[in-house]
Amino acid sequence: MLLRQETPADREAIHAVHLAAFAKHSVPVVEAKLVDELRADGDLIGALSIVAERDGKIAGHVCCSPSRLGTDEKSTVGLGPLGVLPEYHAAGIGSALMHAVLGAADALGYGAVVLLGDPKYYSRFGFVLAAQHGITPPVAEWTTAFQVRTLSAYTPELRGEFRYSPAFDRL
């Protein structure tokens, strides 16, 4: 497996990954559309848009976008989506992508990564419910799945209401 930053040539394959990865959900197109809209808005952080290549094709993708926590617009990023082609589930690709994106976000000096997802899955990467750090989701009903992973540059002052990039609001 090779992990690397996405390139313009990967866009169609990334879209296909997210369509396939979320095909069993009620709205599979949402995640693929989200990545496309983040990219169109200029809100995909290049160093944090990572693909996994396996068997000569794009098998997975993860990305982060700018966010705001309270009045701070520089210390946190929103993660998501993370997608892996179904035929590669349980092969370690999702975990490798998560470790790579968290390491890159830490190296870039971000204080925290925030996401909405299954706590059973994301806790293995150090994510905890965001409320434990005084971070509130943009939608109150998300509280039980809204999580944060603090990084080296984290300070307790990073708290308040979290806002994703505008593309998330258009879903």
Domain spans of the chain, in order of start: 2-169
Q: Are 112 and 130 in contact (CB under 8 A)?
A: no
- The span from the CA of 14 to the CA of 80, in Å, is 13
CATH of domain 2-169: 3.40.630.30
Q: Is 135 helix (H, G, I), strand (E, B) or coil?
A: strand
- Nearest-angstrom CA–CA distance, 146 and 117: 7
What pLDDT shows up at residue 84? 97
89-144 pLDDT, tens digit per residue, is: 999 999 999 999 999 999 999 999 999 999 999 999 999 999 999 999 999 999 99
Determine the Cα–Cα distance for residues 97 and 23; give it in Å rounded to an integer. Answer: 20
pTM: 0.96
72 DSSP 8-state letter: B
Tens of pLDDT, residue by residue over 135-168, are 999 999 999 999 999 999 999 999 999 999 999 9
- The secondary structure of residue 109, as a DSSP letter, is T
